[in-house]
Structure 1
Amino acid sequence: MLGQKILRAIENTEMSVFAQDLDLRYAWVCNPGSSWLADANTGSSDSDILSEAAANRSTAMKREVLARGHAMRYEMSLVQGNQTRWYDICVDVDRDDSGTPCGIIGTSSDITDQKRREETLKTLLRELSHRSKNLLAIIQSLASQTARHSLTVPEFLVRFRGRIQSLSYSQDIVTDADWRGADLESLVTTQVERYAPDGMDQIDFRPVDAYLSPTASLHVGLALHELAVNAASYGSLSVPGGTVAIQARVERQDGEAVLVIIWQERGGPRVRPERDARFGTSTLERIVPNAVGGEARLEYLPEGIRYTLTIPEAQFELTQPQSRP
């Protein structure tokens, strides 16, 4: 009665139970379902239901169990239909009432979902490692650039902390989006708004529904940070009535879609044509465009700084269909 209840309970699981005689021919199978044991009939062997390689391995394991007299456990992968399924198999010596070995008793559990989760976790860990190395490379580059154009240690610390904080804000957006990237509107709001005395009222933003890749998100966030800090210190955000217009649009260039982001300051102090190396020109003109595989142009116009960044299609995706220019 107990045995019947146990077998009945097994029917509600992914586990199969089987028995084989000393010649490793199947005596019975309980709850085979759609597993590799579905075709195991009384008197059949592993070679009748498995591929040659799988049958040889399974038979070898079971003969070793009979020879050693103790249980063994192994995993087996099988191609079933158009997918690979994994099974956890445990076999032990079956004995009669006198304790004499009479065959093999075993269980088989479908662990395909577990294997897939493990593979997904490995992929995520590899991706995390890759992204962590990229982030460390960005930080190293920022440290070098900041140190090169800082006259004092306090100046270096202030500017470097600001850039690291910018990376942190962009990284938060990327993480919240499950590493998909960041939408341009969130980047602009996060990186620019806090530097405008009147908030987004001073920012004329014309966005597109675009998601930037994780790499592009971090670097565009850095560019926006550099522009916003400069505007708040010396440009249009440093005086009442000053504004910044940020325009984003998708264009076709050489048969490829590109995202063009334009930063234009207005209403601020008149801009001098000479460049200040401490203003993040290296970040804006070299580091950011190189990182995204695009192009950038920084212009010192009398009415205000103008920055144009072109991002290739590989670094963004549109969340809504856009009409082609």
Structure 2
Amino acid sequence: MDKPEEPPPADPGPPRASRLTTVVLTVSLVLVVLIAGVLGTIAVLMTRSPDSPFLGGASPQRLPTPIHFAPVRETKAAPCPGEEAALDDTQTTCYLLEDGVTVNAVQEIEAIREPDGTYSVRIAVAPAFKQKLVDLIDEQVTDQRQVAVVLVPRTVVAAPIVTQAMDGDSLSIVGFAKAEAETLAARLAGSTAPPATAPPATTPPDTGQPNTGQPDTGQPTTGQPDTGQPDTGQPNTGQPNTGNPAADGALDPKFDSCKEAVARGYGPYSKGFRAEYEWYTDVDGNGIACNSGDIR
């Protein structure tokens, strides 16, 4: 009796990968995708503009007029024919400058009240300019040199003495009255027009009396400091003069000492910004006359 014919073996087909191999391949593919994505993100961050904030910070503000910071080599009375110099607002002083740093964008410019009652102007520069400015300021600390703050191309709006290294991402110009600090901060940020130059030489000399627009009657002065207001016969309140001398060309009255000036409501005066600085002794040598350190 014949045996039944056995069916031929089934075709095994293509070889199948083991479960472990499949898992390994899947994980590898995911890692490749993730790594490619991270590298792409880094490439984007590295190629962004240096003025752009890092990881979503506040965007820097582009300045309408760049600010140039430069060490002062020498100052001279204007005019300075043949000299490549920057001038102050009143066109009376020439500043001969060394190489400096030009800042085109800032994080913020603001007026801040200091613990001693004076005001400062804080300038926080954009990241692209920070290190260059830090290096420039740090080089001036040892000799406590002046650094001119110049509105490009050649207008010096302040020339403070560097007394300490730059703090973080900002520097501060100190020794102002409130109105002066606010005016300077707005001007550096490009919010206001430049102050007018000093009046022509036909302006009558300061007699110590307020300018009321009336002719001189020949009466003696009252000995009161100039308040900028007409004489109403009321006593002086002792409030400080917050006017900007660079804007109107006027100076505060001159007293025998800082103590007397402060008692009458005047000061402090910053070197390179207020002409009255030269009248008094800067006792603590910080570039500001008639501040708390000078009243002894």
Q: What range describes the TM-score normalised by the shorter chain of this pair?
A: under 0.3
Work out which structure has the larger RCO, using CA pairs closer than 8 Å and 6 or more positions apart in sequence: 2
* Larger strand proportion of the pair: 1
**TM-score of the two chains, using structure 1 as the length reference:** 0.24
**TM-score of the two chains, using structure 2 as the length reference:** 0.25
